[in-house]
Chain A
Amino acid sequence: MNGIAQTEAASLAEGRVRGLWWKGLCGIWMAALILAVFGWLGPAVNAEGQPMFTAGGHGAKAIFFHVPCAWLTFIAFLVGAFDAARHLLRGARPHAGLDDLKCATAMELGLLFAVLATVTGSLFSRNEWGAFWSWDPRQTSILVVLLILAAYGVLRGSVTDPSTRARLSSVYAVVALVPAFFLIWVLPRVMATLHEGPNQTIVGGMIGGNYRAVLYGLALPAFLSLFVWLFQIRIRLLQLEERAAHGS
């Protein structure tokens, strides 16, 4: 075994956590994000120093949780569709079953982050526009994406034969990527939406006060590493369950 494999084997033997360094970074990034958002980061102000959004400019801070969750919803969908395609291409070859597990895990996490994005977006909407829900195109599109992800879980739960379940859900994940892409990236841009203002202001860089630095330097790496960690844990749990089910 080479040096890296020996270290991995030693970690496994002692029941130590693999990849502790980046998991520790995830903890630090998220803690730093919370302290930044609730502590040192001031209100969102424009170039003239006028507060933007509600609560004297503090209402904009919802983006540090809402935007990463929305991004991760689509990233999870992409990962799921990629693994689904690999499963279909591999057929009966080795590791095809693992691809199916990865797809299922990614779609589950996508559903989790879609729910979080919807909830945080609704809270922002209540503060900013006076209602939790207004059937705005962006709000409606994320709700439909959430339902698409939920339907994946329903499909998997309704088929008992493992190989049929894997094949059907893989086909669904690949095909469902097309409407998901349209709903997330195309529809809100071709229709007038309340979301356009915050989009241009925050992601478009019109906001001051280090908001973009915190969003891209803390929030995005924190949530991305959390996604990878949850993905890894879930996959390993599913593999252990499969191993136990087959008595190996």
Chain B
Amino acid sequence: MIGSNTALLAAIPLVVWIGVFFYLLMMDRKIARLERGEDGDDL
């Protein structure tokens, strides 16, 4: 059975990883747009 401390211990790195994952996805998507030449923003 997972106690509250263990749940917190798992939640922190999990939340960090979810943030990193979606950041990488967002960057990947932006790069794809830049490669296509449709996004005028700088890198």
Contact = CB atoms under 8 A, between A and B. Distances in A.
B13 A38 contact: yes
Contacts of B33: 15
A233 B31 contact: yes
Nearest to A230: B24
Chain A interface, >50% SS class: helix
A126 interface: no
Chain B interface, >50% SS class: helix
A35 interface: yes
Contacts of A34: 10, 13-14, 17
Interface in B1-43: 2, 6-7, 9-10, 13-14, 17-18, 21, 24-25, 27-36, 38-39, 43
A241 B42 CA distance: 10
Interface of B: 2, 6-7, 9-10, 13-14, 17-18, 21, 24-25, 27-36, 38-39, 43
Contacts of B27: 233
B17 A16 contact: no
A26 B28 CA distance: 14
Nearest to B9: A38
Contact of B31 (A11, A27, A39, A240): A240
Given A13-B36, A35-B14, A240 B29 contact: no
A189 interface: no
